[in-house]
Amino acid sequence: MMPSQDEFKNPGRSSGRVAVCALLTTLAMLLSYIDSLIPILPQIPGIKLGLANIVILTALYMLKGRYALLINILRIVLTGLLFSGAVYMLYSLFGALFSFLVMYILKKSGLFSVVGVSLAGGAAHNAGQLFAAILLVSNVNLIRYLPVLVISGVITGILTGMICLILLKRLKPACL
Amino acid sequence: MHLKTSGDPVLILFFLIKAVMNIFHEIRKSDIILASALILGCIISLAYFSVSSRELSPASTVVITKDGKILENCSIHDDKTVDTGSNTIVIKGGEVYMEHADCKNQICVREGKISHAGQSIVCMPNRVVVEIKGGDEAYDAITR
């Protein structure tokens, strides 16, 4: 990522951005660790609250899209190395990239509020993870899990989207 | 003044309700349409999947694969234990369960016993899939 000329002229602002990105990455890592500690439905694997998505969404709305993407990838690689292992890192990377793509497009379209973007992102995250699993396990029958995973993604996405809405209102005056 | 009022449960409830109402104001119609379309689609496909698996009805064979390769294909009524190297799968009395997995999360072990056609246990880290298939597949295998 090349810093723009504006950032060269204003080093204070770009270093501030580095600090904000680092802070948000740590926050996202912490939230995804807390996420793994809360089992919602232990019978069905892959259902999580998706708390880290709050941070990603906030970054997407408050900063530029590329910073949100950077924070997302950093979070997954770091939590993958620290807690969950390489195979799970691959699954969540698939899910996160797919959900980021969906959220970015929906945000750009301007049709939806934060809650709509968040619920689509949650559904896309679970669907992306399942497609990664189908590719890795090479068993198409896993697609049966798709409806359950998408519904859970929508529900948790609505919850995180509401939290994000409150957050964005409070953060606006502070301006990252 | 802020400290005094913050302890009042009625006021806290009032602010909470106000905050929630504020959120609902910001939700657009398109959000609701998107959510209900996704959930409706899922419910329809869920219903379709459950109907199509009921057609297969009686469970007959157990297929165990690793990395997409078939390791074991036997009747569900055989009582045996299959060791894939990373996982131990037990078939006993018409039920199948994952007894041991060397992975971290143990999701497949906690999934418990399965006994109906169309059900499966998946161990993601080791890429092991245990499936129960129904219908006449077992007879086909014998008569062939």
What are the pLDDT digits (tens) for B77-95? 888 888 888 888 888 888 8
At A61, is the secondary structure helix, strand, or coil?
Answer: helix
Distance between B72 CA and the closest CA of chain A, angstroms? 15
pTM for the full predicted model: 0.77
Mark which of B35, B55, B75 sits at the end of a domain.
B55
Q: Which domains does chain A have, with CATH numbers?
A: 5-171 (1.10.1760.20)
Same domain membership, residue B66 and residue B49:
no
Q: For residues A5 and A7, what is the distance between their CA atoms, to the nearest angstrom?
A: 5
Same domain membership, residue B114 and residue B66:
yes
Express each pLDDT in B18-40 by its tens digit. Answer: 877 877 888 888 999 999 999 99
Question: Nearest by CB to A166, which of B19, B34, B46?
Answer: B19
User: Do the Cβ atoms of B35 and A141 come within 8 Å?
Assistant: no
Give Cβ neighbours of residue B139 (< 8 Å, ≥ 6 apart).
Answer: B60
What chain B residue is nearest to A148 in terms of C-alpha separation? B42
- Supply B100's token pair: 């041991």
Are residues B126 and B84 in contact, defined by beta-carbon separation less than 8 angstroms? yes
Are residues B63 and B72 in contact, defined by beta-carbon separation less than 8 angstroms? yes
Q: For residues B126 and B107, what is the distance between their CA atoms, to the nearest angstrom?
A: 12
Are residues A122 and A156 in contact, defined by beta-carbon separation less than 8 angstroms? yes
Same domain membership, residue B51 and residue B104:
no
Question: Per-residue pLDDT averaged across A23-32, rounded?
Answer: 92
What chain A residue is nearest to B68 in terms of C-alpha separation? A138
ipTM > 0.95, yes or no? no
Same domain membership, residue B72 and residue B139:
yes
Q: For residues A36 and A46, what is the distance between their CA atoms, to the nearest angstrom?
A: 10
User: In chain A, what residues touch B104 (CB-CB under 8 Å)?
Assistant: 84-85
